[in-house]
Structure 1
Amino acid sequence: MNLKEEKYSRFALVAEMLETPEIVRSFSPEVSEKFVSIIKSKKGLILTGEGSSRIFPAKRAISAMLKRGYRMPVFTEGSTQAREYALDDMAVFVSSNSGQTREVIRMILDLKARNHNAVFGLTATRNTKFEELVDDAHVLSCGPEKAVAATKSVIEQALFYDSLLRNLEGRRMEGLDEFAAMLEQVLTSSVSSEITEIVKNADFVYFAGRENGVAGELGLKVNEIIRKKSDFLEGTFALHGIEEVMDKNEVLIWIDPFEADQEQFNERLVKGAGIDIVAISAKQTIFPT
């Protein structure tokens, strides 16, 4: 993508996606420090919300934390199901881009009715009921989105949660300039027509990958942007039953494929079910990549 060609520049969605490298460069990890002491005084932390505000930001931060070996209990759950949990001794971080998400407001009201004193908010919108109800909040700096919600804001939310968990660990958040440069390179790179044709012609798009929010969020964006039905198949779930109802008019996009399972996916999904598989990976795979 670029803003020089009219086929891209006429879309606000493209312009906002291309803003994300600068959002990364200008992010300050210190913005989450004010929440650290009270979170540490609790027995754990839950990151909650609905849709894109939670899927990628929360799951990705938790996945990265688990790889680093930090052992404070940190969970994520949708705000409706989270209302059923015993959260009295936990810090709660709720996210809502609009500051008006019904399920999120309902959960905050439930917690405040029980005199919970560690309910924090993450939002892209100032002066909302959401901001008034929580004990403290952080408002994103990326500005409003004109095209699709949670396009650039989801990146800043992810940075915030990552910085929060690192600050809880006493660990510095580094490499933002390098990350911004890589993000810019990815966003402006070309994708082969072979891959775009496969996805364009598919009746259904599956995403497979780790439960770190990446594939799950992309599945949601397929619904919102290219208006195709999709599903996220965690890990190797695609090999455990659903392949029996897949057909040749479908495609599976595999994020960072597990090397040990590529042959199985090829045998059972490509040769067996007849679907196409496309990989998104830093390394070459046996599939179009």
Structure 2
Amino acid sequence: MRFMCGIIGYIGVKSAGPILLDGLRKLEYRGYDSVGMATFEGSGITLKKDAGRIDDVAKRERLGDMQGNAGIGHTRWATHGGVTKENAHPHASCDGQIVVVHNGIIENYSELRAALAERGHFFRSQTDTEVVPHLLEEELRRGNGIEQAVRNVVKQLHGSFALLVLCSREPDKIVAARRESPLIIGLSDHGTFAASDATPFLGQTKHVAYLNDNEMAVLTRGGAAYFDFNGNPVRKEVAEITWKAEQATKGGHDYFMIKEILEEPSAMRNALLQDRKAFTEFAHEIASAKKAMVIACGTARHSAIIGKHLLDRVAGKQVEVMIASEFAYFADNLTPDTLVVCVSQSGETADVLDGVRKAKAKGCRVLSIVNVVGSTLSRLSDRAVYLNCGPEVCVAATKSFINQVTVFYLLAYAMRGAFDEGVTELTKVSELLLKAFELNDARAKAIAERFVKNGNAYYIGRGVNFAMALEGALKMKEISYVHAEGMPAGELKHGTLALIENGTPVFLLNPTDYTYYDTLSNGLETKARGAVLIGVGNKNNTAYDEFIELPEVPEIFYPLLEAVPLQLVAYYAAVARGRDPDRPRNLAKSVTVK
């Protein structure tokens, strides 16, 4: 099962309650079906939690009023156990002296839980996490301090975890531990933070340290000490986050999604701010590889499919694109002459990281295209190219997709020794993204509202536009909950035409490129069966019932312009149906567990 949660801890001189609540609001994109906080007040721990969105729970439970200078918090996306108050984090030991928040999956929790129950422990939830405070409780009974207790317990856990532990016996510290789930330490002049990412404490500090797998940190008011799971000290370099706190706010817009769509022109130009020498070396390593495989998930995979077309057509380099979760099943036959290129916005996608580890074990070099500096992926890779799009809060990827595709364009140019030409051409295209928005904002809204009662939509294209059909359909389904399917236009006749009926919207990705006439012919096949044909391109056609107009560009660049109106249609479809486009049900921003 896949999921993502957000955790945060703070210990310092300020009141923990408001800081934790503010941080959880900024982590809500990682999970939002329940929330909870625990703080140390006076002589004991106060724990409050419930199912529901953060603001609703905060109001009911008065989370912002919680006292104390040390605390931990969690926003959850349910996996083990349903969406209930009991299953919300934090989870406590039997005696209430230990509380824990957790992001990850403890694979052997059933065995651990059964053994603990036999020893008299009482469980309040159905979660895997709850075994941790009970195991810690037993360690404390044996006379161990909380640091040693955590070291002993993590060695019993199979699976992935980022843990924050607060203990009333030692309230002057929070213990953090990580294996295969992200955890970042923030260092400020008033206290110390730990969180799933830097977003929740950007307004407090930009100074961070990154925990690696099988490492732990002991947080105090004055800083943090770092150790491996055997208790050996680990030295950490303190890095500085370059993002600004205001970049992770809505900036007056109704939703993050529309704000981030509007940021795409500037984000795309930032993607072009690459070190010429380092980027060219990155490109040449792909070009010279005997075999190159690109692995990614979701939207990042769609960008990789576009990249596959670009590298072939522009640079004459053929690469293979694989879904990261399937890559593991082909890893046994990897050889050291295979280059693995990973694409991930967060750099924490579990399936991608699993692929990296398998590739490394086979002696392969690994390159990454990633947004978050200091992410696990960037640190595991032999080389990394950064997207430079800033924080992206909406669950649905928008500007990060634009930047991923932009990087692939620039790689194609750099492979043929034309880096500067690529920057020049792509800068011109970035200026047309806003025009694509202006041409289609009202039109996209009208189209979305026209089909507000339709339960199905189809997106078709050929060549590189097939990847955009996949991406358009993904955007529609993930935020509006409309069943949407993207496919090669030529595949319609092999089954999907049977689903077309009167009024079915079909988006035809059809700029005047090398696929134009064949794609148009396929669109007419759907129209003959009652479809409402929505043309997306630079040239209108009398066959189109609706037309989404793209500015004129050299044909190879149309995917970048197609992205904008497809994102807008999905956005307005979600709004028209009363959905929250920033927080689609059952989904989270990045998936840190397989």
Q: Scaled by the length of structure 1, what TM-score is found?
A: 0.86
The structure-2 alpha-carbon separation of the partners of 1:192 and 1:54, relative to structure 1 and needing over 3 Å to count, comes to closer
**Residues 160/260 of structure 1: CA separation in 2 closer, same or farther (3 Å cut):** closer
1:224 Cα deviation from its structure 2 partner: 2.1
Q: How is 1:125-274 mapped onto 2 (pairs within 5 angstroms)?
A: 125-171=372-418, 172-173=421-422, 174-189=424-439, 190-191=442-443, 195-212=447-464, 213-256=467-510, 258-260=516-518, 262=520, 265-266=523-524, 268-272=525-529, 274=530
Query: Hey, what's the Cα distance between the residues in 2 that align with 1:132 and 1:231?
Result: 35
- For residues 94-133 of structure 1, the C-alpha deviation after alignment (integer angstroms, 9 at most, x for no partner) is 11212221111111111111122x2011222232322222
Counterpart secondary structure, 1:178: helix
Match of 2:312 among 45, 59, 66: 66
Aligned to 2:539: 283
Count, aligned residues:
277
Structure 1 distance, partners of 2:339, 2:320, is 11
Q: 1:265 to 1:164 in 2, by over 3 A?
A: closer
Q: Distance in 2 between matches of 1:23 and 1:45?
A: 27
C-alpha separation in 2, matches of 1:50 and 1:58: 9
Displacement of 1:177 in angstroms is 3.0
Structure 1 position 249, deviation (Å): 4.8
1:87-102 paired onto structure 2 within 5 Å: 87-88=334-335, 89-102=337-350
Segments of 5+ residues of structure 2 without an aligned counterpart are 1-251, 548-594
**Structure 2: how far apart are the matches of 1:82 and 1:192?**
37
Report the CA distance shift for 1:246/1:105 in structure 2 as closer, same or farther (over 3 A). Answer: same
What secondary structure does 1:125 align onto?
coil
Following superposition, the deviation at residue 82 of structure 1 comes to 3.0
> Which segments of structure 1 move beyond 4 Å, counting only runs of 4 or more?
none
Q: Offset at 1:144?
A: 1.3
Identity of aligned residues (%): 22
Q: What residue number does 2:351 align with?
A: 103
Which of the numbers 56, 79, 97 marks the counterpart of 2:324? 79
User: Are the structure 2 counterparts of residues 42 and 200 from structure 1 closer, same or farther at C-alpha, using a change threshold of 3 Å?
Assistant: same
> Contact 2:451–2:505 at 8 Å: present in 1 too?
yes
How far apart are the structure 2 equivalents of 1:164 and 1:41? 13
Distance 2:285 2:319 in 1: 14
In structure 1, C-alpha distance between the alignment counterparts of 2:414 and 2:517, rounded to whole Å: 33
1:211–1:235 Cα contact (<8 Å) kept: no
C-alpha distance in 2, partners of 1:280/1:123? 29
Give the Cα–Cα distance (whole angstroms) in 2 for the partners of residues 105 and 10 of structure 1. Answer: 34
User: SS at 1:138's partner residue?
Assistant: strand
**Greater percentage in helix:** 1
- Cα deviation, 1:139-198, whole Å, max 9, x if unaligned, reads 321111122342111111111122122212223303223212211101122317763344
Measured at CA, do residues 149 and 138 of structure 1 come closer, stay the same or move farther in structure 2, by a change above 3 Å? Answer: farther
- Name the structure 2 match of 1:3: none
Aligned partners of 2:304 and 2:343 also within 8 Å: no
Query: Conserved in 1, the CA contact under 8 Å of 2:267 and 2:403?
Result: yes
1:9 aligns with 2:257: no
Structure 1: runs of 5+ lacking an equivalent: 1-7
Q: Which has the higher contact order (CA 8 A, sep 6+)?
A: 1
For the Cα contact (< 8 Å) 2:508–2:523, is it kept in 1? no
